[in-house]
Amino acid sequence: GQQVMQIPQYQHVQEGEDFTTYCNSSTTLSNIQWYKQRPGGHPVFLIQLVKSGEVKKQKRLTFQFGEAKKNSSLHITATQTTDVGTYFCAGHDGGATNKLIFGTGTLLAVQP
């Protein structure tokens, strides 16, 4: 079945450093979404990317969808303590079903 892997599993940075998480799918995706889950919380939608090679920015966050629509990345510039949490990518395979398959997640810890 479809698998979505993320690396790294865990990243510890000093406040102000940059952070990147990478997402790779075993199959081509129709779109990819990113979610953030704070410790003890639930996933919160960040963004959706649909087009091959698409790049979107939200303040310090930059999201990219690969040309082959099988990979994606999230880059955070100058991390802040409020960025702490687990970042998940989630992809639709474009089939008739509405399966949104979540990646394995990257836990970001930010030291003040």
Partner 1 sequence: DAGVTQSPTHLIKTRGQHVTLRCSPISGHKSVSWYQQVLGQGPQFIFQYYEKEERGRGNFPDRFSARQFPNYSSELNVNALLLGDSALYLCASSLERLGGRRTFGSGTRLTVV
Question: Interface with partner 1 by CB under 8 A: which residues?
Answer: 1, 4, 30-31, 33, 35, 41-45, 48, 88, 90, 92, 97-105
- CB of 102: closest distance to partner 1 in angstroms? 4
CB of 14 to partner 1, least distance (A): 24
Q: Which residue has the tokens 């810890």?
A: 109
Q: What contacts 24+ positions apart, CB below 8 Å, involve 63-66?
A: 63/34, 65/32
- Please report the DSSP string for 80-101 in residue order: -GGG-EEEEEEEE--SSS--EE
Kindly tell me which of 84 and 101 has the beta carbon lying closer to partner 1: 101
Least spacing, CB of residue 79 vs partner 1, in Å:
21
- AA letter at 93: D
